[in-house]
Amino acid sequence: MKLLDRALRIVLLAGVAVALVFALKGLDLNRLWSALVSADPAWLAVGALANVASQSTRALGWNVMLAGQRQPIRFSRLVRIEFAVQAAAAVTPEGAGELIRVGYLSHEGVPRTVTVTIMFVRKFFSNAGLIPFLLVVWWPGSGVPTWAVVTAWVYVVVLTVEALVIVRAARTPAAPTRETRLRRLVFDARTALGPVRRPRAVAEVTAAALLTRSCDLLALFAVAQALDLDLPWAVAILVLLALEFAMVLPTAPAQVGTFEVAVLIATAGTFGAVEGLALALVFHAEQMLPQIPLGMAAMVEGRIVRGILEGESR
């Protein structure tokens, strides 16, 4: 499986490189540099703050899902671990960030099975938070290409299937009649889905996801304003949708290259290559640069490191 994963990663990275070469062939680097250096600092600051807020709101969903744990975890700790996860994901191979989350929460008394289960559920709600905004893409006269409309529907269908699986798995589990490691893991995972059985908890996690997506949109529009680009609402939603699909692929740390290709595809027909790449580079930088120092500051806290070590020793 490792060999297959490496081969797939190499093929995808090669595909991204080829796509960038074709998309940026003949690019006017002087125009690109001029667009980047002339960006409005005030709007860039708004975008950076919106990205920081977006990461903070992600911790709200974890706060709801972990509310039933025996040992309460302060919201401030969840915010710090969120930044630590994002910082690690930005500078290390895929999956390293989530390892930090598992280690931290293990130190806080949360079993690894529970953390991994909530991780998948939180990802579902985060993705579902984009669905209400897709109405702009489907709206008659939105101007987005047919492939984008179809992609949005595929996105909804996939999430609907995931929702059915989660609802089915979230039913109150019966204790395993015969104790085995696998049965215990399944029981713990289904028990971790307890908040999904409570309508209020579902509403709170959904609200947190909508707030996160609103912050993402604010950050994107702020970057567009900084670059003096007239970004239509439908195209902005399409950019976020394209980035969601890009995140599914095994890529380089921080989605380098894949992120830019996704934005270029979403903005094709609206902006030229120079404007699209400028938007992609600045938006990407504004997501990564604030997260890295904030996340590193969180990771120097000894409890995170100890949590990873203790989690690995169990």
**Separation between Cα atoms, residue 242 and residue 244, nearest integer Å:** 5
State the average pLDDT over residues 146-175: 86
Listed residue (128, 300, 117) closest to 203, CA to CA: 128
pLDDT in tens, 47-85: 999 988 988 888 888 888 887 666 678 888 888 888 888
Highest-confidence range of 5-19, 113-127, 250-264, by mean pLDDT? 113-127
Query: Can you tell me the mean pLDDT for 271-281?
Result: 89
- pLDDT tops 80 at residue 285: yes
- Asked if residue 113 lies in contact with residue 311, where contact means CB atoms within 8 angstroms, the answer is no
201-224 average pLDDT score: 93
pLDDT at 303: 52
Residue 57 one-letter amino acid: T
| Higher pLDDT among residues 102 and 231, named by residue | 231
Confidence of residue 300 (pLDDT cuts 50, 70, 90): low
This prediction has a pTM of 0.82
- The dihedrals phi and psi of 268, each to the nearest 5 degrees, come to -60, 135
pLDDT (0 to 100) of residue 227? 94
| pLDDT for the residue 246 | 79
pLDDT at residue 130 above 50?
Answer: yes
Whether the Cβ atoms of residue 101 and residue 299 lie closer than 8 Å to each other: no
Average pLDDT over residues 168-196: 71
pLDDT for residue 144: 84
Mean pLDDT of 265-282: 89
pLDDT on residue 105: 83
In angstroms, the CA 290 to CA 93 distance is: 19
pLDDT higher than 70, residue 113: yes
The one-character DSSP state at 252 is: S
